[in-house]
């Protein structure tokens, strides 16, 4: 608008407008959650599913008050490649460490301990080190738990997921697996 008349935008202005729109789109596109998310199953279904089709078990041990657990739910478990991999290679279980009911897993019953303020299955999974979030890998329901404490971004989570998902843990050390590992997720 000049001298009371509508004028054509300058070419530089057009490019700045296009660039601004593109930057806005790209910055917000990372915030859009994926349609693919981890499809969690109840802990009491693992034994039956494993008997039909053996595959590793991934347990996300969390609490309702844990901030980093919520961040992991929103940013890690909604990563498209990660969620797809977990759904196809694991029996994924989300387990509240403070669940007050009785839980049956691997033909054993675990109860809530009022003094410890947690379910004894969480104590078993975390080997008594009550940190949240903790991701627990099990080769089978009867295998010893392999807990990994702390928040993990998808790029940091890829190596352990593939180590257990491809059952490399039954053949080699995590270090040896990592020496030839090329990450694909970012």
Closest CA to 97 of 83, 78, 110: 110
Contacts of 61 (CB under 8 A, 6+ apart): 95, 97, 122, 125, 126, 132, 133, 134, 135, 136, 147
Crossing angle of helices 154-165/80-89, nearest 10°? Answer: 20
For the segment 159-179, the average pLDDT, to the nearest whole number, is: 94
pLDDT at 7 over 80: no
Please calculate the CA angle 161-128-146 and round it to the nearest 5 degrees. Answer: 20
Binning pLDDT at 50, 70 and 90, where does residue 13 land? very low
Token pair 């990372």: residue: 30
pLDDT at 18 over 70: no
CA distances to 39, 98, 103, 138, 168 from 165, rounded to whole Å, are 16, 27, 25, 10, 8
pTM summary value: 0.79
Q: How far apart are CA 183 and CA 110, in angstroms?
A: 37
Please calculate the CA angle 127-83-73 and round it to the nearest 5 degrees. Answer: 60
pLDDT digits (tens, 9 = 90+) for 64-101: 999 999 999 999 999 999 999 999 999 999 999 999 99
Of 2-6, 39-43, 60-64, 77-81, give the lowest mean pLDDT range.
2-6
Q: Contact at 8 Å (CB) between 120 and 111?
A: yes
Q: How far apart are CA 70 and CA 82, in angstroms?
A: 17
């Amino acid at each position: 608008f000049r001298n009371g008349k509508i004028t054509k935008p300058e070419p530089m202005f057009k490019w700045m407008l296009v660039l601004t729109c593109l930057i806005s789109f790209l910055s917000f596109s990372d915030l859009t959650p994926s349609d693919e998310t981890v499809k969690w199953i109840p802990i009491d279904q693992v034994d039956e599913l494993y008997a039909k089709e053996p595959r590793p078990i991934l347990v996300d041990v969390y609490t309702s008050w844990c901030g980093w657990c919520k961040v992991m739910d929103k940013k890690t478990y909604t990563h498209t490649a990660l969620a797809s991999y977990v759904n196809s290679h694991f029996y994924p279980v989300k387990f509240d460490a403070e669940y007050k009911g009785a839980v049956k897993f691997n033909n054993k019953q675990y109860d809530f301990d009022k003094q410890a303020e947690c379910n004894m299955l969480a104590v078993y999974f975390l080997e008594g080190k009550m940190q949240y979030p903790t991701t627990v890998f099990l080769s089978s329901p009867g295998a010893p738990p392999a807990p990994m404490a702390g928040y993990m971004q998808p790029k940091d989570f890829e190596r352990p997921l593939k180590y257990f998902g491809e059952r490399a843990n039954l053949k080699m050390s995590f270090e040896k697996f990592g020496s030839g590992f090329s990450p694909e997720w970012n």
